């Protein structure tokens, strides 16, 4: 389970970096050269999604919750905006849903 969560976290970071760098360029806060590492980061993001051995729809659904949590961490660390209690509640609900999806696939 820890390996899967780590993989999801790495995937979320790759996606966030791949989207953040073009944003910097588009808002004139960075060079067009940022598009190169952004493209590499997005390619890594896609590759990381392929490393999960279960059905892709289930992987994407579960990954979504981890992405939400990671994005709020990004909001705090990179953007300097402290998440509100509703942000934390939303992340908790999303992670609970992901837990139901992830644990529900196991055969008992």
CA distance 22 to 67: 19
Task: Evaluate whether 64 touches 94 at the Cβ level (below 8 Å).
Answer: yes
Amino acid 89: pLDDT: 97
CB atoms within 10 A of CB 95: 16
Model confidence, pTM: 0.85
The tally of domains found in the chain comes to: 1
Distance between first and last Cα of the chain: 17
Amino acid 96: pLDDT: 94
Residue 15: domain span? 2-104
Per residue in 1-59, pLDDT tens? Answer: 788 889 999 999 999 999 999 999 999 999 999 999 999 999 999 999 888 877 778 88
CA 61 vs. chain centroid, Å, equals 11
Residues 6+ apart with CB under 8 A from 69: 12, 91, 94, 95
Count the residues in the chain: 108
Q: Is the dihedral of CA 74, 78, 79, 84 positive or negative?
A: positive
CA distance 107 to 93: 24
């Amino acid at each position: 389970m820890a390996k899967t969560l780590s993989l999801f976290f790495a995937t979320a970071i790759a996606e966030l970096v791949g989207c953040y760098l073009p944003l910097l360029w588009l808002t004139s806060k960075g060079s067009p050269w940022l598009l190169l590492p952004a493209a590499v980061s997005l390619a890594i993001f896609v590759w990381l999604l392929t490393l999960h051995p279960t059905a892709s729809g289930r992987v994407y659904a579960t990954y979504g919750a981890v992405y939400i949590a990671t994005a709020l961490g990004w909001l705090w660390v990179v953007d300097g905006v402290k998440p509100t209690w509703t942000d934390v509640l939303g992340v908790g609900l999303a992670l609970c849903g992901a837990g139901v999806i992830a644990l529900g696939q196991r055969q008992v």
